[in-house]
């Protein structure tokens, strides 16, 4: 088999939850370029429509389904809608995210639960809903959870987010074992720092400098630098023996202390 064929996703159906966001959008684009039909799931109908138009421009089959990922019934309905429109689902990427820099002593339970709901509980529910569908379809699958450099050791200023991402790593490892008998591989990609919506206010000039100074690559990442890792993990032919892996795409940020 030619090496490029291993990364060909023609005939696959991919779902990107949070596909309306900056990194999710780049991921959706990369999966479509590799040949997959792509369903973009997000809260905003308008941003979903824009994303679909961009994907159609590169010749991809794409649909947008609006759903709040923190509402289990909405994810169940989204899965049914995607299967109805595109067929059985092969690839699920979980990329919803919100962040906050509230200091520990001031975090109230409303904020704590909101961040855990979006960053962790929604991923747990999505894994459950979509893996049930993959099992029923009987052709295996690949689940890729978007973690973070903050999943451990945690970054300063983003406690709840870091706790959620640590949980997401653990969920990923657990599901890799539990779902392996169904030929479903479960991996995570842990990005370093990429300017996006959820971290716009957090990336102040001083923090950005501190991050870049600590990053061996000496810069922030570009969203399309995630695509190689995503397509590799999505492709059964390219990564059939890879499950339970947490792949860092962070310019070396987590490779050193001082």
Please identify, using beta-carbon distances, which residue of 97 and 167 lies nearer to ligand NAD: 97
251 forms part of the interface with ligand NAD (CB under 6 A): no
- Least Cα distance to 102 among 115, 90, 119 occurs for 115
CB 8, CB 30: distance < 8 Å: no
The window from 79-87, 89-97, 134-142, 174-182 that contacts ligand NAD (CB under 6 A) reads 89-97
30 forms part of the interface with ligand NAD (CB under 6 A): no
Residue of 130, 161, 193, 232 with catalytic role: 161
The window from 8-16, 21-29, 48-56, 103-111 that contacts ligand NAD (CB under 6 A) reads 21-29
> Nearest residue by C-beta to ligand NAD?
21
194 forms part of the interface with ligand NAD (CB under 6 A): yes
Q: How many other C-beta atoms can be found within 10 angstroms of the C-beta atom of residue 71?
A: 15
Strands, DSSP E only, in 150-222?
A: 184-191
Strands, DSSP E only, in 86-207?
A: 91-94, 141-146, 184-191
**Cα torsion for 155, 143, 22, 100, to the nearest 10°?**
-30
> Which of the residues 148 through 167 are near ligand NAD (CB under 6 A)?
148
| The binder of ligand NAD chosen from 15, 22, 155, 186 (CB under 6 A) | 22
| The binder of ligand NAD chosen from 170, 197, 209, 222 (CB under 6 A) | 197
| The binder of ligand NAD chosen from 30, 35, 48, 96 (CB under 6 A) | 96
- Least Cα distance to 99 among 75, 120, 115 occurs for 115
Please identify, using beta-carbon distances, which residue of 18 and 35 lies nearer to ligand NAD: 18
Please identify, using beta-carbon distances, which residue of 140 and 152 lies nearer to ligand NAD: 152
Q: 153 preceded by cis ω (within 30°)? A: yes
The window from 14-22, 85-93, 131-139, 227-235 that contacts ligand NAD (CB under 6 A) reads 14-22
Calpha distance 31→228 (Å, rounded): 10
Strands, DSSP E only, in the chain?
A: 13-17, 37-42, 62-66, 91-94, 141-146, 184-191, 246-249
State in angstroms the smallest separation of the CB of 52 from ligand NAD. Answer: 14
Please identify, using beta-carbon distances, which residue of 71 and 180 lies nearer to ligand NAD: 71
| The binder of ligand NAD chosen from 32, 69, 158, 166 (CB under 6 A) | 69
Calpha distance 29→223 (Å, rounded): 10
Active site residue 161: yes
Catalytic residues: 161
Q: Which residues bind ligand NAD (CB under 6 A)?
A: 18, 20-24, 42-43, 68-70, 95-98, 118, 146, 148, 191, 193-194, 196-199
């Amino acid at each position: 088999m030619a090496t490029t064929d291993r990364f060909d996703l023609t005939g696959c159906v991919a779902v990107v939850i949070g596909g309306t966001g900056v990194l999710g959008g780049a991921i959706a684009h990369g999966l479509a370029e590799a040949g997959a039909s792509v369903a973009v799931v997000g809260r905003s109908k308008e941003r979903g429509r824009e994303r679909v138009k961009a994907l159609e421009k590169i010749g991809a089959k794409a649909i947008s389904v609006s759903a709040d990922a923190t509402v289990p019934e909405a994810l169940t309905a989204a899965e049914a809608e995607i299967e109805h429109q595109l067929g059985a689902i092969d690839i699920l990427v979980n990329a919803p995210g919100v962040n906050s820099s509230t200091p520990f002593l001031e975090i109230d339970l409303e904020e704590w639960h909101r961040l855990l709901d979006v960053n962790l509980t929604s991923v747990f529910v999505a894994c459950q809903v979509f893996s049930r569908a993959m099992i029923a379809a009987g052709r295996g699958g690949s689940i890729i959870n978007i973690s973070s450099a903050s999943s451990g050791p945690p970054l300063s200023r983003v406690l709840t987010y870091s706790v959620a991402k640590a949980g997401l790593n653990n969920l990923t490892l657990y599901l890799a074992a539990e779902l392996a008998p169904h030929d479903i591989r479960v991996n995570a990609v842990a990005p370093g720092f990429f300017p996006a919506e959820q971290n716009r206010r957090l990336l102040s000039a001083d923090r950005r400098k501190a991050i870049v100074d600590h990053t061996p690559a000496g810069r922030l990442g570009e969203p399309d630098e995630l695509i190689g890792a995503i397509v590799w993990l999505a492709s059964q032919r390219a990564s059939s023996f890879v499950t339970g892996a947490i792949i860092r795409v962070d310019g070396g940020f987590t490779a050193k202390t001082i």
